[in-house]
Amino acid sequence: MKPVALITGGSRGIGRAIARELASTHHVIATYKGRRDAAETLRAETGAEIFRCDIASAADRQALLEFVRQRFGRLDLLVNNAGMAPRERRDILEATEESFDEVLAANLKGPYFLTQQAARWMTELGGGRIVFITSISAYTVSVNRGEYCISKAGLSMAAALFAQRLARSGVLVFEIRPGIIRTDMIAAVEKAYEEKIAGGLLPQGRMGEGSDVARAVRAIADGLLDYSTGQILNVDGGFHLRSL
């Protein structure tokens, strides 16, 4: 039987690229929250299962894992990819509690507790792999979207915590930190990013694509990093490098 991969936020952007990458070797379940049409086209293209799930909702998380359990009886790979940007970018001196709560619930609380449930199940099964898709925003300041940066920094720590806790159980945990990736999330500021890249922001000189992140997940899914639990993979065109 093919291994089973659950990808949250799998109908668009980075998640969609990951789903397409894994579909040839895994049974893929891709969650979506709003755009069912995008999820349906993914299913038509790849044969992936789709499941509507608001990761911020405890009831939805429970229903999602129950669906996977009933449909496949196992879970080999969890990719925590679902997330959101603030609905409106605001300077941290003007940001609202409502935005903070919404972003933290979707980007940090949701995947934290989904992973808790999935990890218990994987431990019963004897092993598995978990990936957290974070961001260069885990350590890079953007003062007009502080809640997003904080959520990704917290998610980075969550990856380390679960990696430490689960290592002896055979459940391996990894963090992937994408850089500037061409998705609809950055569409409004894509031109500005392109100008910065042209000015030398990225050592490799180009914006990333969803497929770049998907190939990093592929390496994890294929077991190529199985002695590297807790590893952080920077998929950022060299952004993380420091030079004088």
Q: Is residue 244 part of a domain?
A: no
Which amino acid is it at 133? I
For CA atoms 203, 206, 207, 211, the dihedral sign is: negative
pTM of the predicted model over 0.85: yes
pLDDT digits (tens, 9 = 90+) for 66-90: 999 999 999 999 999 999 999 999 9
Here the CATH number for the domain that contains residue 216 is: 3.40.50.720
Does the active-site annotation cover 193? no
* 111 lies in some domain: yes
- Show the domain range for 126: 4-233
Give the number of domains in the chain: 1
Which position among 32, 112, 139, 148 bears the catalytic label? 148
The answer to the question of residue 243 being in a domain is no
Position 186 confidence tier, pLDDT thresholds 50, 70, 90: confident
Instruction: Spell out the residues 6+ positions from residue 205 whose beta carbon is closer than 8 angstroms to its own.
Output: 197, 237
Sequence-distant (6+) residues with CB within 8 A of 46 are: 19, 20, 23, 28
167 inside domain? yes
Residue 117 counted as domain residue: yes
- Average per-residue pLDDT in the chain? 96
Residue 138 lies in a domain: yes
Asked, for residue 8, whether it belongs to a domain, the answer is: yes
